[in-house]
Amino acid sequence: MLLDGKIALVAGGTRGAGRGIAVELGAAGATVYVTGRTTRSQQSEYARPETIEETAELVTAQGGKGIAVQVDHLVAEEVRALVERIRVEQGRLDILVNDVWGGEKLFEWNKPVWDHDLENGLRLLRLGIDTHLITAHYALPIMIERPGGLLVEVTDGTAEYNADHYRLSPFYDLAKVAVNRMAWAHARDLERHGATSVSLTPGWLRSEMMLEAFGVREENWRDATANVPHFVISETPRFVGRAVVALAADPGRSRWNGQSLSSGGLAQLYGFTDLDGSRPDAWRYVPEVQDAGKPADASGYR
C-alpha cells in the first residue's frame, strides 16, 4: 500500500472531511490516530451520532490501523498527552491533518459583527483557530524529527477565492482565511526541517450533517438538487481524503509547501477520483458558474 508504515494523526476525525481523510489514509495502509470529542459513551454539544470509534473502525476495515483517542483540542494538556502517547507507541509522526472545527452551530449567516451573537462568534474562532495552533505546537516537534513530514491544514475555500469573497459572517470568514494563512506561515518554519505544510479545502461536501440538512442520503444525494441546484458539484468526504493520500505519497510534495490547495484541483493533477469515478472541481465551478449567476450545470467540472 502507498502509505504502509506511515503514522498519521487526524485531529477532528469524528465526521465529515476528517472522517473521509482518516478512512482514505487507512485504505492506503497508514496507522491513523483519530481524535474528537464524541465517543460512544460521551457526546459533544453537537449531539450527533457519529463517534471517533466508528471512524477508527472504518480505517481498520479499509486495511489500515485506526486508533480512537478522545481529545478536546482546546485543552492543551489533552493534546500534549495525545502526542506523548503517539511518541511512546509509534516513535514517530509522519502526517498531521488539522481538521478540528465544531463551529457549524455557532455562525449566523448574513449578519454583521454587531448583530452576530458575540459569545458564539468568539467560540467559533477558538474552535477554528486556537485548536489548530495548540495541536501544531505539540505535534509538529515530533513530526520534524524525521524529514518528509506533511502538515495539512483543512479549511473552507482556497486562499485565492477567500481573498475577495466574503464568507457571509465576519467570524466564519476570519476563521477560514486564518487557516490558509496558518499553513503558509508553518511552511516557512517547516521547510528547513524537510517538511511540507499546505492548506487544503474540499468542495461542497456531502458530509453527514449536509445530507441530513437536505433530507437525502448518499445514495440519493442528487434529489437535493431540485431545491439546491448547485449541489450538483458536491463531493463525498472521501474525495478530500484521496487528495491527502496523493500528497502524502508524492515524494515531490515539497513543491506545494505553503500553498493553498483544493481536492478538485489536486484530482486534476494526480488523477484520483471520487467514489463515483468523477472529479468534481468545485472551486473552479463556484466562481465560474454559481457566482456568475449561471444555471446549475456541472458539465466539464466533474
Contact criterion met (CB below 8 Å) for 32 and 8 = yes
Cβ atoms of residues 195 and 253 within 8 Å: no
Task: Tell whether the model's pLDDT for residue 104 goes beyond 90.
Answer: no
pLDDT of residue 103: 87
pLDDT of residue 195 exceeding 90: yes
Per-residue pLDDT band at 255 (split at 50, 70, 90) = very high
Q: What distances in angstroms separate CA 269 from CA 5, 51, 243, one per listed residue?
A: 25, 33, 10
pLDDT 10s digits, 110-146: 999 999 999 999 999 999 999 999 999 999 999 999 9
pLDDT score, position 183: 98
CA separation for the pair 147, 150 (Å, rounded): 9
Indicate left, alpha or beta for 171 from its phi (over 0: left) and psi (-120 to 50: alpha): alpha
* Alpha carbons 230 and 240: distance in angstroms, whole number: 19
Which contacts qualify for 80-87: CB closer than 8 Å, 24 or more apart? 80/138, 82/9, 82/33, 82/35, 82/138, 83/138, 83/139, 83/142, 86/7, 86/9, 86/33, 86/139, 86/142, 87/142
Residue-level pLDDT at 143 = 98
Mean pLDDT of 155-176: 95
Closest CA to 200 of 147, 270, 247: 247
**Homologous superfamily assigned to 7-206+238-279:** NAD(P)-binding Rossmann-like Domain (3.40.50.720)
pLDDT value of residue 107: 87
Q: Characterize 250-285 residue by residue with b for buried, 16 or more Cβ atoms within 10 angstroms of its Cβ, and e for exposed.
A: beebbebbbbbbbbbbbbeeeebebeeeebbbbbbb
Write down the pLDDT at residue 173.
95
Global confidence as pTM = 0.97
pLDDT (0 to 100) of residue 47? 85
Task: Map out the domains of the chain as residue ranges.
Answer: 7-206+238-279
Q: Is the pLDDT at 272 greater than 90, yes or no? A: yes
